[in-house]
Amino acid sequence: MPASRTVERGRRQTLILQTARKAFGYREATNMPITSLTIEHFRNLDEVTIDCSPGINLFTGANAAGKTSLLETIYVLGRGRSFRARNLKHLIQRESDGFRLLVRVQRDDERVIPVGMEQGPHALAVRVDARPVRKLSDLAVLFPIQWIGGELHRLIEQGPACRRQYLDWGLFHVKPGYLAVWRRYQKLMKQRNAALRTGAPEREVRAWDRDLA
């Protein structure tokens, strides 16, 4: 694929991300506190509704009370996946047909936006402000979350790639436009390395170098 085409696709992707955030009224490094959270049939949580306070919220309880599951619901809403299960269907409460999650977040202009997810036995439906979300990765653009859990030791054990991934996600949280830049860089690097492996002409490799720079 020509380098110019990859660059143009990266620019279009940046525009799409900016347009999506503008449509929902979000800005870079925006603060969107959660005002309420509703959980139905998610793991060991049957029906739970929580009204959150401004600032920091602390959740306490006995072992197996559902504290981690509660945090997991927020993670699932923000990342479109779980940090404990590969398949969202595995999060459905036993003897239930599906789970339902609804979180309300407050924009800078104080308007409250609902973010909902329903996972059934066969299909998943996600909506933000009553609008369907077609790609789960779009949730990360609109609702970035950073998880810090017991597996944090992996940052040390799994090498530099794991640490770079963690830092990359942190940068995206602060500056969401970084995601498009990161994806573009990864694609350009992949194309450049492929050109080197296949013995492409030097002028083609230099074209990738210019775009990477």
Q: What pLDDT, on a 0 to 100 scale, did the predictor assign at position 173?
A: 65
CA distance 22 to 10: 18
Same domain, 51 and 97: yes
- Residues 84-110: tens digit of each pLDDT: 999 999 999 999 999 999 999 988 788
Mean pLDDT within 49-63:
92
pTM of the model: 0.70
31 band by pLDDT with thresholds 50, 70 and 90: low
Q: What pLDDT, on a 0 to 100 scale, did the predictor assign at position 115?
A: 92
Phi then psi dihedrals of residue 202, to 5 deg: -60, -35
Measuring CA to CA, which residue among 145, 136, 70 is closest to residue 105?
145
Residue 79 contacts residue 145 (beta carbons within 8 Å): yes
Give me the number of domains the chain comprises.
Answer: 2
- Residues 125-145: tens digit of each pLDDT: 999 999 998 887 778 766 767
Mean pLDDT within 43-55:
94
Mean residue pLDDT across the chain: 81
Identify which has the larger pLDDT, 186 or 38. 38
Give residue 9's domain range. Answer: 3-23+175-212
Mean pLDDT within 28-47:
86
| Residue the block writes with tokens 């992707």 | 13
Same domain, 48 and 104: yes
Residue 66 contacts residue 43 (beta carbons within 8 Å): yes
Same domain, 14 and 52: no
SS3 state at 83? coil
pLDDT at 45 over 70: yes
Mean pLDDT within 12-20:
39
Residue 78 lies in a domain: yes
Residue 13 lies in a domain: yes
Same domain, 179 and 200: yes
Mean pLDDT within 25-46:
80
Residue 69 contacts residue 136 (beta carbons within 8 Å): no
CA atoms within 13 A of residue 36's CA, in its CB half-sphere:
10
Q: What pLDDT, on a 0 to 100 scale, did the predictor assign at position 46?
A: 96
Dump strand ranges (E) for the chain.
34-42, 45-51, 99-106, 112-119, 124-128, 131-132
CA distance 205 to 53: 54
CA distance 172 to 174: 5
| Domain end call among 143, 162, 188 | 143
Same domain, 133 and 63: yes
